[in-house]
Amino acid sequence: MSAVAAIATPLSRRQRGRQSAAGALPTLAVGAGSLAVFLVLVLWFTSVGAGEALSTFGRGAFGGVDPISETLTRAVPLAIIGVGAGVALRAGVFNVGGESQMIAGAVAATLVARWFGGAPAVAVWLLAVLAAVVGGAAWAVVPAVLWVRRGVSEILSTLLINFVTTALLAWVLAKTVLHDPDPTVITPQGRQLPAHLDLPLLIHGSRLHIGFLVAVVAVFATAWTLRTATGFRIDLVGANPRLAAQAGVRPTRLRIEVLLISAAFAGLAGAVQLFGLSHRLTTGLTGGVGYTGLLVAVLGRSKPLVTAVAAVVFAALLTGGEALERAGVPRTLSAVVQMVLIIGVALASVTEARR
Amino acid sequence: MSQLISLEFWESVLGGGLRLGLPVGVAAAGELIGERSGTLNLGLEGTMSIGALGGVVGAVSLGAVGGLLLGALAGAVVGLLFAALVLQRRANEVVVGFAVSLGGVGLATFLYRTMYARPPRIVPFKAVDLPGLRSIPLIGPVLFRQPLVVWLLPLTLAAVAWVLHRTRLGLELRAAGDAPQAALARGVAVNRVRTAAVIAAGALGGLGGALLSAGIVGEFSDQLVGGRGFVALVLVIAARWRPSLLLPAAWGIGALQAFQLKVQTSGGIGLPVELLRALPYLVTLIVLAVGVGSANAPRALGRLTE
């Protein structure tokens, strides 16, 4: 049972009996609901027909090698952050700080590239990934300490640190050694990394880089770990901390561990985006992936393999939405559909917890 | 550096602070009501965006005041949706909140772009000069050369404080946030009180958005709300969930933003302005950590469904 479902138990027993169990196929219901919202918005507010909208969307997301590789490219950071956030969710921890931990990871990786840029690429990548993972986790230490010592909710502290970090990044890019001195650049950005550090492409002519394989490994490694005793302990803490404590698991300690682990995943995503896509530190490197990654974990119901699928779905909504925009439908329709998907899953998991 | 000692500079910063602090302050006042009832609504960014769109739609046909009303109404509908999902159906509040933030911004932008081929003409509130008072140095231009609508913030906060601390509803609301089980045992309809609080919070969130679009800026754009919903969330924490502290917090952050804008447009003053942007969040984090943190936060907050 996912943590979201576990937390979402009713406050009073009174309300429990009132609702009947949902349909046998909640996934189908959520999908149909999202499709309905999509079509209603398109038909009511644009001049594009239903068939045209769906086929444009489908072709934009999956119609051929190019769209598919672009969709998978977008799914990479979502999947990496999503599986990490899912591990934390299982123990009842909401790591909202993916955005800042991703930045910390990217900055750490940039520093490694700057200091050891002359070394062989593989060595730099490995060292940078290590630095990014540590950097990401380090960014969750303050929320962890505040939570244990002062009882400050990790939801609020990680959210606040996102804003502090975004401002810090702007300063780093504008005023420190990482600043790109090119005078034609208006928005501050980092220097271009040496070309030999760009991650190799999986498909020539696309943007799909070997960071995709990193995401695949992260997904399967997490899925495997969750099947071990560690995974069981995490689920136990999420489902019933008191019972876990009686069974000899220390809930607080474990929750801090999963917070740091999810932050490390976000740091990793930062390094992958840096070497795979942006090739330089920018303010747009994260682009909200830290937040949507958490939502992907919710959509994936904290299960690594389902989360990977959810990441592809979210990415497809982005690429398909961009194709729709060219046909005259504003791309932010995608965000509305994402909202409906998330709310649908949140409702379905409550119903499941009741059964 | 010389501009820092000119009176005009500070008049413009503080005056701008009153205007910039208004939308976030009003939205934060709403969030405060919801949180004091024990409901954490992270969807404020989406609520403000929907309210901002409502403000534009209303202002086009009914004028700026009509825009504010329609914005508040739209926000209340979002609040109702949140209440239905989180309080009635028991969906997770953090998840629904983030989803509403994501989807609300998306929906507002989608609707705006499909409804208007070109930006509609809106006349925002104009500054009203109060003769006599306006010529007092510093205070005059800051306080008395403003659109009257900036005074809506202290009025709203006074009303919220009065309801919270002087009425039976306010007592029940605070009980629902601090000790839901005990309140339930004493016969308080916790869920109904929370639902009312969340809808009122939505209305103020939407009003905040409409104040931004129809009241002050006079237009809607993709980046109009641009994180102000999250700033409002931060203000509630910084004010330690008290309406009285929300006024200086909102005006303070408004003045800070005005300061940055002013410094950036005048080509910098040798200060790391970027770091200044981190300041309010850093201060809030410290308030949260040091300020007897959890003693001020409603005890049931963020753990609604445990």
Q: Read off the pLDDT of residues B241-298 as tens digits, 9 standing for 90 and up.
A: 999 999 999 999 999 888 888 877 766 666 677 788 888 888 888 888 876 544 467 7
Cross-chain CB nearest to A168 (options B184, B191, B278)? B278
**Span B189-214, pLDDT tens digits:** 999 999 999 999 999 999 999 999 99
Q: Identify the residue among B57, B96, B235, B274 best suited for mutation to test binding to A, counting A beta carbons within 10 A and taking the highest.
A: B274
d(CA B160, CA B149): 17
Look at residue A7 and tell me whether its pLDDT is greater than 70. Answer: no
Cross-chain CB nearest to B89 (options A9, A46, A347)? A347
CB contact under 8 A, A94 and B106: no
Distance between B169 CA and the closest CA of chain A, angstroms: 21
- Average of pLDDT values for A319-340? 93
d(CA A247, CA A235): 13
**Beta partners for residue A302, in sequence order:** none
Q: What pLDDT is attached to residue B3?
A: 63
Q: What pLDDT is attached to residue B279?
A: 85
Q: Write out the two tokens for A142.
A: 């303050």
- Average of pLDDT values for A249-264? 95
CB contact under 8 A, B305 and A150: no
Distance between A274 CA and the closest CA of chain B, angstroms: 22
Look at residue B11 and tell me whether its pLDDT is greater than 90. Answer: no
Q: What pLDDT is attached to residue B146?
A: 82
Q: Identify the residue among A19, A90, A160, A176 best suited for mutation to test binding to B, counting B beta carbons within 10 A and taking the highest.
A: A160
- Confidence (pTM): 0.89
Distance between A157 CA and the closest CA of chain B, angstroms: 7
* Number of other residues whose CB lies within 10 A of the CB of residue A203: 15
Look at residue B303 and tell me whether its pLDDT is greater than 90. Answer: no
Distance between B33 CA and the closest CA of chain A, angstroms: 17
% of chain B at pLDDT higher than 90 = 56
**Beta partners for residue A190, in sequence order:** A179
Average pLDDT value for chain B:
88
Query: What DSSP letter does each residue of A225-237 carry, written as one string?
Result: HHTSHHHHHHHHH
With contacts defined as CB-CB under 8 Å, which chain B residues touch A164? 278, 281-282, 285
Residue A27 confidence class, pLDDT cut points 50, 70, 90: confident
> How many whole angstroms from its chain centre is CA B116?
26
- Average of pLDDT values for A204-208? 91
What is the four-CA torsion angle of A260, A89, B47, B228, rounded to 10 degrees? 0
Q: What pLDDT is attached to residue B277?
A: 83
Cross-chain CB nearest to B90 (options A10, A166, A168)? A10
Residue A16 confidence class, pLDDT cut points 50, 70, 90: very low
Higher pLDDT, B7 or A254: A254
Instruction: State which amino acid sits at residue B263.
Output: V
Q: What pLDDT is attached to residue A5?
A: 39
Q: B201 exposed, middle or buried (CB, 10 Å; 0-12, 13-18, 19+)? A: buried
Q: What pLDDT is attached to residue B21?
A: 94
Q: Identify the residue among A1, A4, A9, A11 best suited for mutation to test binding to B, counting B beta carbons within 10 A and taking the highest.
A: A11
Pick from A188-197, B59-68, B121-130, B199-208 the range whose average pLDDT is largest.
Answer: B199-208
Q: What pLDDT is attached to residue A12?
A: 37
Q: Which of A36-40, A43-47, B291-295 has the lowest average pLDDT?
A: B291-295
% of chain A at pLDDT higher than 70 = 92
**Span A76-110, pLDDT tens digits:** 999 999 999 999 999 999 999 999 999 999 999 99
d(CA A78, CA B228): 25
Higher pLDDT, B9 or A98: A98
Q: Write out the two tokens for B73.
A: 């109404």
Q: Is B89 on the interface with A (CB under 8 A)?
A: yes
**Span B161-187, pLDDT tens digits:** 999 999 999 999 999 998 888 888 888
Q: Write out the two tokens for A183.
A: 């005078």
d(CA B284, CA B231): 11
Assign residue A2 a region (left: φ > 0; alpha: ψ between -120 and 50; beta: otherwise).
beta
Q: Write out the two tokens for B284.
A: 């809030």
Q: Write out the two tokens for B175.
A: 């009980």
Q: Which of A8-17, A47-56, A171-180 has the lowest average pLDDT?
A: A8-17
Which residues in chain B (267-296) have CB-CB distances under 8 A to chain A?
Answer: 272, 274-278, 281-282, 284-285, 288-289, 293-294
Query: What DSSP letter does each residue of B133-197 carry, written as one string?
Result: GGGSTTHHHHHHEE-GGGGHHHHHHHHHHHHHHHSHHHHHHHHHHH-HHHHHHTT--HHHHHHHH
With contacts defined as CB-CB under 8 Å, which chain B residues touch A348? none
Q: Three-state SS string across B22-37, please?
A: HHHHHHHHHHHHHHHC
Q: A20 exposed, middle or buried (CB, 10 Å; 0-12, 13-18, 19+)? A: exposed
